[in-house]
Amino acid sequence: MPRLPLDNIRVLDLTRVLAGPFGSQVLADMGADVIKIERPIVGDDARIFGEPYLRDADGNRTRENAFYMSVNRNKRSVTVNIADSKGQALIRELVKQCDVVMENYKVGDLQRYGLDYEGLKAVNPRIIYCSVTGYGQDGPLAQKPGYDAVFQGECGLMSVTGVAEGQPGAGPMKVGPSIVDLFTGLNVANAILGALYYRDANGGEGQYIDVALLDCGISALSHYAQIYLTSGEVPVRRGTQGNGGMPTSKFQCSDGAIMITSGNDKQYNLLCDLVGHPELAADPRFHTNVERVKNRDEITKVFDAIFATNTMGYWLEKLGAAGIPSGPINDLEQVFAYPQAVHRGMRARAPHPLKPDLDVIRSPLNFTTTPITEYRAPPILGEHTAEVLRDELGLDDAAIEALRADNVI
């Protein structure tokens, strides 16, 4: 049995910044040999996205920053100047030994180098080639550049995120993380896995995959988008209120806030008993979930006043004992100290040349037969250039040094 699910799969990754690298990291975590191609000297744009940077043993800032490290573990970094004909030749030689090519250049940009799908398909007909762009390969906005924050606005996510209209601080709000990039990365990994299965298990062939951030952002709106498609009603911002079972919201206790979701009538009746107000279960405004959703603001105010009477710890203990979904609102320090996150090992160790005790985020994927148990640190720029050119392409030291002297690598 292979040690990891994607052992023997090789990915040539020409993507940069976040969406593409996150997708290739998912594949790398599952055992794919991901060869990350970076520009000589400059590297992935993410390397210059600012603090915090990893500090070396003497406390000096390195060029390894947290943004870059978050999506590049378990990969090998090779520097190649793809604008140089010799660099293009290296890419073609590597493609002969790869299963997948990933890129996130502007539409048509790689065609001038002969590194587009048609150019590389001629080198390796079985190649799976995934292009990640903002708006897709066609359409009126295909040539338009964009970043996650722009897509959060365009795809509708910001319109349903933030404080409700008429309340202090109302207005569209960006989600903290670059969530459209991350949605896209997950779709990229899924699409590549599907194409690999079609090729290798279903007797198919290689193919081209077109993934767009705008498409992924709209798709991720899920029930919000379907509400509009079903009813014609445009969903609005509701702050921390949920969209299904009520009451679902952030509730302020005497010493901090907690989140609660009362997902059905049974949970609501338990909640009423737990807080000492069984009469609320029979209140005609709240008797069924349909009525509670209609009167979401009223029921939120009622429970706001109730939860303000005691502490977070008091309420969370009672809610937990009753089986009502609830929890604290953790910051990241609290997250990595949270007992369940500690038990699940969400902080993993990936020794780095500059920091032997570097911690990274554990993959959330858990396999019984092929478990992900070890992590390699996000690579230093060009860390594996000589290794890959020597071991995979058979170049000797003199040939590698000549390429370096010509600024090809």
Whether 181 is catalytic is: yes
d(CA 375, CA 356): 12
Which residues are within 8 A (CB) of 174 and not within 5 positions of it... i.e. 6 or more apart?
A: 149, 152, 153, 158, 161
Structure tokens at 150: 């722009």
d(CA 346, CA 366): 12
- Single out the catalytic residue among 44, 99, 116, 181: 181
Nearest to 78 by CA among 406, 398, 392: 392
Question: Is 21:70 a contact under the CB 8 Å cutoff?
Answer: no
Q: What is the three-state SS of the chain? A: CCCCCCCCCEEEEECCCCHHHHHHHHHHHCCCEEEEEECCCCCCHHHHCCCCEEECCCCCEEEEEHHHHCCCCCEEEEECCCCCHHHHHHHHHHHCCCCEEEECCCCCHHHHHCCCHHHHHCCCCCCEEEEEECCCCCCCCCCCCCCHHHHHHHCCCHHHCCECCCCCCECCCCCCCCHHHHHHHHHHHHHHHHHHHHHHCCCCCCCEEEEEHHHHHHHHCHHHHHHHHHHCCCCCCCCCCCCCCCCEEEEEECCEEEEEECCCHHHHHHHHHHCCCCHHHHCCCCCCHHHHHHCHHHHHHHHHHHHCCCCHHHHHHHHHHHCCCEEECCCHHHHCCCHHHHHCCCEEECCECCECCCEEECCCCCCCCCCCCCCCCCCCCCCCHHHHHHHCCCCCHHHHHHHHHCCCC
Question: Is 28:188 a contact under the CB 8 Å cutoff?
Answer: no
With tokens 């993959």, the residue in question is: 363
- The amino acid at residue 179 is I
Catalytic residue set: 181
